[in-house]
Each structure stands twice: as C-alpha cells, then as structure tokens.
C-alpha cells in the first residue's frame, strides 16, 4: 500500500540520517484502563504517522511525526489559537481538535504515550515533528511550537516534549546541502539528487 506522499518523503528524510530507525502508521486509541475511557467516544483509532528512534544515541528523544499534506499549507497561528479556545470549530469536515487530538485531549494524550511505549519501551523525552507542505500566508511556527497548553499536557503525563514544524523545502534543502556523487539511499533523496543533476533545482 502506498503511503501519503508527505509521509513517505518525511520517512525517507528521517532514515537517511545516521542511526535513525523509523516505522510508519502506528495505530493508537484510548483503552479501558485509562480514566475517562468511553467506548462510544474512543472506539475509532487515530495513528502516529511516523515513529522513530536514534539507535546510535540512546539518550536522544523519541521522534514522532504528524504529517499534514494540505496543498494550501498550514496556518500555525490559526491552529495554535483555535485548538484550545475553539476546539469544536470544523475544518476539513471534522472538529479542529480531532486533527491534533493527542495535543489537546488528556485521554488521547495518554493513549498516544502508551502506544509509543508499546513500540519503544519506557521514555521521558519526545520530539514531536509536524511535517507540512509549507506555511499558509504569513503564519510561522513559534506560537505553535511554544504553545503552553501543548507542552503542559505532556508534562503532566510525565513526558518532556519539544515541538518542530518541518516543511518540504527544509527537507529538500537539507538533502541538497549534502548531495554528492554518492547514490542516495532513499527514494526522496535520490529524486532530489536526480533533479539537481538534471538542472531542475
């Protein structure tokens, strides 16, 4: 099955870095042992698009990636403002909070953390990457990555989290900066290499 193209690009970008092992599409949902569980509300799973671990540096944070491949881009300011204060406002056919349920709902946050522990074992540090096509308009990352509510929900559940928003251009630029005559190991990096060789970029 083909993954979302942004998921595959981001996966390739991650695993092309030394020591990174990654896995795609980790399902998670609240379970009955989580306080507040309601089967009628929590029966449909969400997923972690990419989960990654640095095998060279055991002290490095676990990496989780959420991909939003919206063609119009991602308005970081809008989501930072509305995920908490206007969470039921619909965008893309569903309430805005459901696009980032692990950031704003404690039950889903606990399920998210539990799912990661099931894959990698106990951990205390997490680097949460939001991979996007581009920023929409003049919005920037700072309000989103420094959002106190997002940081707090993880802290209260025992996880020291940092956030990053990563654009397609940033991934491509990082590959361009290292590309040489050695064949790149992933499809995305190889495509960038061929486009550069062909004078397209």
Contact, 128 vs 161, CB < 8 A?
Answer: yes
| Collapsed DSSP state (helix, strand, coil) of residue 13 | helix
Residue 20 Rama label (left phi>0; alpha psi -120 to 50; beta): beta
> Residue with structure tokens 């606990």?
110
- Flag whether pLDDT at 170 surpasses 70: yes
The DSSP symbol for 164 reads: E
Backbone angles phi, psi at 101, to 5 degrees: -60, -35
Beta bridge partners of 142: none
CA distance 58 to 56: 6
d(CA 192, CA 175): 7
Structural domains counted in the chain: 1
Q: Does the model's pTM come out above 0.85? A: yes
Domain that holds residue 39: 5-197
DSSP, res 71? T
Q: What percent of the chain has pLDDT over 90?
A: 77
Q: Tens digit of pLDDT for each residue in 83-118? A: 999 999 998 889 999 999 999 999 999 999 999 999
């Amino acid at each position: 099955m083909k993954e979302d193209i942004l998921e595959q690009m981001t996966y390739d970008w991650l695993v092309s870095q030394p020591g990174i092992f990654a896995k795609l599409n980790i399902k998670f949902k609240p379970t009955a042992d989580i306080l507040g569980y309601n089967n009628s509300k929590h029966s449909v799973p969400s997923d972690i698009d990419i989960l990654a671990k640095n095998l060279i540096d055991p002290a490095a944070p676990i990496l989780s990636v959420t991909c939003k491949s919206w063609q119009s881009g991602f308005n970081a300011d809008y989501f930072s403002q509305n995920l908490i204060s206007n969470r039921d406002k619909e965008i893309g056919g569903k309430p805005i909070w459901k696009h980032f349920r692990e950031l704003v709902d404690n039950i889903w946050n606990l399920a998210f953390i539990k799912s990661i522990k099931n894959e990698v074992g106990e951990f205390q540090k997490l680097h949460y990457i939001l991979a996007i096509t581009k920023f929409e308009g003049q919005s920037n990352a700072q309000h989103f990555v420094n959002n106190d509510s997002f940081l707090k929900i993880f802290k209260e559940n025992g996880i020291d989290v940092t956030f990053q928003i990563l654009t397609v251009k940033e991934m491509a630029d990082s590959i361009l900066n290292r590309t040489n005559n050695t064949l790149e190991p992933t499809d995305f990096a190889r495509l960038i290499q061929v486009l550069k060789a062909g004078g397209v970029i």
